Amino acid sequence: MQASGGPVAGVAPVAGIRESPSVAQRLAHRAALPALLVAGLTVVGVAIRIVVAQQAPFADELSTYWIVSTNGLGGVLSTVHSNAEITPPLSFVAGWLSAQIDGSPEMVRAPSLLAGAVTIPGVYLLGLRTVGRAAALVATALTALAPFMIFYSAEARGYALMMALVLLSTLAMLIAVDDSRARWWVFYAVASCAAVYTHYTSVFVLGAQLIWLLWAHPEARRPALLANAGAVVAFLPWISGLIKDFDSPTTDILSALQPFDAEHVRLSLEHWSIGYPYSIVGLTDVPGVMALLLLGLAVVVAVAGVLLARAGGRPEAESWVPDRRTLLIVALALSTPVGAALFSAFGGTTVFSTRNLAASWPALALAFSALLVAAGPRLRFAAVGLAVASFAIGAVKLLDEQYGRPQYQATANFVDRSAAPGDVVIDETGVLSPGPLSHIDPYLARRRRVIRSRAPQENDHPFTVFDRNVPRAEAARRAVAAADGARIFLVTDLSALKPRRMGSYRLVETRRYDGMIRLAVQVYADRASSRG
């Protein structure tokens, strides 16, 4: 008998009548649409990330840039191995490799940008094997548009790379369970080890993976334990670096700056889940009040849809009954917040902060998306639409200079264009730098006399607690003496923007620059000098 959908043998098709597509063709068409959606979302997400990656480096990125731009590979490893850094080496090695192509600060972000791009379709692939196609597509959209994910995909630190590696580890684990071939267990081990070599907090997710695996798949316990043993052995060469990192004074400083208390836990959870990584930009700014209202309404619609389905005994209510793989996603989403809380409470060091929760973000997106699509065949479209719109508003906000990283490059460019030979710069942009670079150091193209203020004057080693901050008044005195009648350019932030007392010097010009920290350049000229 001829298969359904094909022509009957010996009978020509009737002209003008189209043949019915085969089952295989219909399945291919159905699979093509999600693939196109994922590709489109990836393009949109990468485009936003590329734009944001053009912003000047900020805070800890300066440490990465200094390490990879002033050292060979051996120097990178030895510097990261010391207590000058409290992060393992893989992201620094990746940054060093990209810096060999182009030594600009932006190029050092290339590994994060690539990892952020891979994570978008990676979330979809993980969702297919856990929470289903519909939730996977929604989570892909949220990942492409989330301010948290965009920010770290455009930062020269290890968080985006860690998230990508944890995602690959989870995918490899699930494929290994389904496929049983040794190569996937090897891939799982390599990705897991690489994640820990990128950031220590990945162990919370990796631990949750292993616990789930041992519980859900007893038949896979032996290869799972062997794979994890191999990952541990491969990490052993870095044990001495791990010990130095936990003994570093930086660890104590960070614990003091962000103590483990209810207020900091609340802020960290809020900014990790839906906001901007730095709390200086509040949730009412990014994603903004309208986005928060839309997201809250999405949750209400989703929960109402689930409750109504269950109350009515409708079949779609069963979609919210978690199976083993949905439980895996929930466990991964909770693993880092719970693990960081327990470690902070009993481990003697606070690790509960917004960025340290990063490893669980892809799983959080999948778990939340599973809730949205469980609202039923009608309400799910409203819930999903509201949530995606909320995240899209946040993504657009990141393209606004007002919410971007501070415009240090613009201030340095103004100084380079405007300052004459002999003019002096007072640099107050080192306040949030871990040293030894200030925020304008990577961009000052011309050699000139620069005096640090509110930060150590040293620029040849990472700052320590023994390096003395230069007070503002002392920096002003030094600048007046060095200028000897030439002009003085003060680069600062608006919180410190007020006319300074500098002897016979008077304020003649002020330039302001938007950003999450607003900057200014003040120009001072000597009343007694004809110059300026």
Q: What is the pLDDT of residues 239-282, one digit of tens each?
A: 999 998 888 777 777 777 788 899 999 999 999 999 999 888 99
Helix %, strand %, coil % for the chain, to 5? 60, 5, 30
Same structural domain, 127 and 147: yes
Domain that holds residue 427: 408-526
Query: What percent of the chain lies above the pLDDT cut of 90?
Result: 73
pLDDT digits (tens, 9 = 90+) for 283-310: 999 999 999 999 999 999 999 999 988 7
Whether 8 is in a domain gets the answer: no
Same structural domain, 443 and 360: no
Same structural domain, 339 and 437: no
Same structural domain, 120 and 107: yes
Q: What's the pLDDT band for 9 if we cut at 50, 70, 90?
A: very low
Whether 3 is in a domain gets the answer: no
Q: Coil, strand, or helix at residue 522?
A: strand
Here the tokens at position 197 are: 């070599």
Whether 9 is in a domain gets the answer: no
Same structural domain, 398 and 424: no
Whether 12 is in a domain gets the answer: no
Whether 387 is in a domain gets the answer: yes
Here the tokens at position 95 are: 């940054």
Same structural domain, 42 and 100: yes
pLDDT at residue 90 is higher than 90: yes
| pLDDT, position 318 | 54
396 or 495: which carries more pLDDT confidence?
396
Same structural domain, 376 and 494: no
Whether 1 is in a domain gets the answer: no
80 or 5: which carries more pLDDT confidence?
80
- Domain count for the chain: 2
Whether 315 is in a domain gets the answer: yes
Same structural domain, 376 and 415: no
Last residue of a domain, one of 403, 438, 468: 403
Last residue of a domain, one of 388, 403, 418: 403
What phi and psi, each to the nearest 5 degrees, are found at residue 452? Answer: -75, 150
Whether 509 is in a domain gets the answer: yes
Same structural domain, 262 and 389: yes
| pLDDT, position 78 | 94
For residue 378, count CB atoms less than 10 angstroms from its CB and return exposed for 0-12, middle for 13-18, buried for 19 or more: exposed
pTM of the model: 0.90
| pLDDT, position 10 | 40
Q: Coil, strand, or helix at residue 493?
A: strand
The answer to whether the beta carbons of residues 501 and 472 sit under 8 Å apart is: no
The answer to whether the beta carbons of residues 111 and 91 sit under 8 Å apart is: yes
pLDDT digits (tens, 9 = 90+) for 447-485: 889 999 988 888 777 766 678 889 999 999 999 999 999
pLDDT digits (tens, 9 = 90+) for 380-425: 999 999 999 999 999 999 999 999 999 999 999 999 999 999 999 9
Same structural domain, 248 and 290: yes
| pLDDT, position 457 | 85
Same structural domain, 395 and 413: no
What residue type is assigned to position 316 of the chain? E
Same structural domain, 413 and 361: no
